[in-house]
Structure 1
């Protein structure tokens, strides 16, 4: 079954407070937030729940594949056999809220037994994930990755902003995009969760056979936390730019892994925190 389309927005009537203090009813558009259960199976393993994430419907297959890839359950594009929605005859409402990724190779069942639950605002993080990241990723070669002019760098948030139709209607979505040094956007995805948007663009690259992602900048609309760096490192991304601020752990991790990290990319300016050699004047 193809990746089905669900409503990304919902209509609501709000009471607006005007500047003069009066109240008035008016229609509003809300971004949709629904749970997605991600399951994994292989030829020798039955489908097992791996995580439940609160997300905005749309590109669910990419989200599921991207999540499993950044958690280390998928190593390469060829590991993915099929992706499908689960058939739930007793719950038509939830039919498109459960995705199973069928893998060509066995997966580590210890990961599925973690019973991970993520919210839209927070990914999965902890001491074990930091330790695991050091074990399963390699420092990115400083001679790899895109070299971007400062002018192109500061224009990248506007490039992905133009590909956010649901944000235009709701004002309530994050975005992530993969943009090359010439300003061409390979992929832009929206979601109520920053981490989900990143998983969606990485998942598309996995499904398209384009990992590691070595020639694009990961552009995100929000702040930069450790989890974003973790996901980028798993995908081989050497350059991350964000509209918001990074955390100290995000900066330290990017420095250790050879990733160029840029924050506060807005109004024609930016702060370069690590590995500035990938930015040209």
Structure 2
């Protein structure tokens, strides 16, 4: 980052760091900006009114900010909640910022010395039924821990909502402009160069919302969590733009959010392509001003000519 990088104490996404800048063999001590990364524990409160239970279901390393959206998006994309009315409240329990991680499932999470997780607690309405065995199976199967693609797709077919009809289409010339529209609104990325962005655009190329995070999956959860809490899911009339690559996990979240099209500035993975084809999502990769690749459902991109796309 530039030597004159400025800092905003109120910005939770950015931290100052003293660095040694080396340029043409000369060293200078400078203050730079880096992306903040801290643990967040997501707790779930559920059960009948007379028998409420509290369970820690995840600890994720994320960029602080929009934690309520992150928690809501995480629970929605994992199939725990299907409607915004299922969530009674989201907030930080008392003394959460000083309490160590407290996992009721017996698993231990190793954090760096002196680093304690913050806590966000999601309270479900008493009538919402939660199957913890199914919940834990889904978290395991959809995580990046070496589970085979076949098992992941099978779990997604079981978890995902039924396909929704949509009429989403976008002109290729508008699609090509989206990365340039995203760059100016990546405020924390401008300071640090270390954050992923996820954004929603309309078919007219209008920016609907954007979120940033050190984790690409967290950025998408924050983005979809905002829409979920606004009761805007499914997002049949929006495109999801990713600042990096497109992985299985991100396509899974798009499926759960009812998003008909995903575009990535980077490359898609093989399993992301499988998910897109399985659920008829238009998947675009290597999005540039003059070129891009379509891996699935090209009918949503207008203004194309040449050899028909067969996949």
Match of 1:25 in 2: 29
Q: Report the more deviating stretch, 126-135 or 166-175.
A: 126-135
Corresponding residue of 1:226: 248
Give the superposition deviation at 1:89: 6.6
Aligned length: 271
Matching residue within 68, 77, 86 for 1:61: 68
Q: What RMSD, in angstroms, separates the aligned Cα atoms of the two structures? A: 2.4
Shift of 1:268: 3.0
Alignment of 1:191-270 (within 5 A): 191-270=213-292
Distance 1:72-1:89 versus aligned 2 partners, 3 A rule: closer
Which residue matches 2:307? none
Aligned to 1:174: 196
Contact 1:50 1:116 in 2 (8 A): no
Deviates more, 1:263-272 or 1:173-182: 263-272
Cα contact 1:50–1:111 (8 A) shared by 2: no
Indicate which of 2, 10, 16 corresponds to 2:15: 10
Displacement, 1:96? 8.0
Moved more, 95-104 or 32-41: 95-104
What stretches of structure 1 of length at least 5 have no aligned partner?
Answer: none
CA shift at 1:110, angstroms? Answer: 2.0
- The gaps in structure 2 that reach 5 residues or longer are 1-9, 101-114, 304-311
Q: Given the two structures, how large is their TM-score scaled by the length of structure 1?
A: 0.89
Match of 2:158? 135
Contact 1:155 1:268 in 2 (8 A): no
Aligned partners of 2:39 and 2:116 also within 8 Å: no
Q: Deviations over 1:28-68 (max 9, x none)?
A: 10110000101111252312111111000010000000001
Question: Does residue 87 of the first structure (1) align with residue 94 of the second (2)?
Answer: yes
Structure 1 pair 116–256 and aligned structure 2 pair: CA distance change class (3 A): closer
**Bigger Rg over Cα:** 2
Q: Which has the higher strand share?
A: 1
Please, which of 74, 77, 99 is the counterpart of residue 120 of structure 2?
99
Q: Does 1:37 align with 2:60?
A: no
Residue 106 (structure 1) shift? 2.5
Q: CA deviation at 1:130?
A: 2.6
Distance 1:61 1:253 in 2: 28
CA contact (8 A) 1:70 1:230 kept: yes
Q: C-alpha distance in 1, partners of 2:119/2:134?
A: 18
Q: CA deviation at 1:77?
A: 1.6
Question: How many angstroms apart in 2 are the aligned matches of 1:90 and 1:11?
Answer: 21
CA contact (8 A) 1:50 1:114 kept: no
Q: Deviations over 1:194-220 (max 9, x none)?
A: 000000111011100011111000001
Superposition map of 1:144-163 within 5 A: 144-163=166-185
TM-score normalized with structure 2 length: 0.81
Cα separation, partners in 2 of 1:92 and 1:138, compared to 1, 3 Å: closer
Q: Secondary structure at the match of 1:254?
A: helix
Cα offset, 1:184, TM superposition: 1.8
The answer to which of 101-110 and 26-35 deviates more is 101-110
Give a deviation string over 1:228-277, Cα, whole Å, max 9, x none: 11111011111000000001111111011100000001233211111000
Deviation at 1:144, TM superposition (A): 1.4
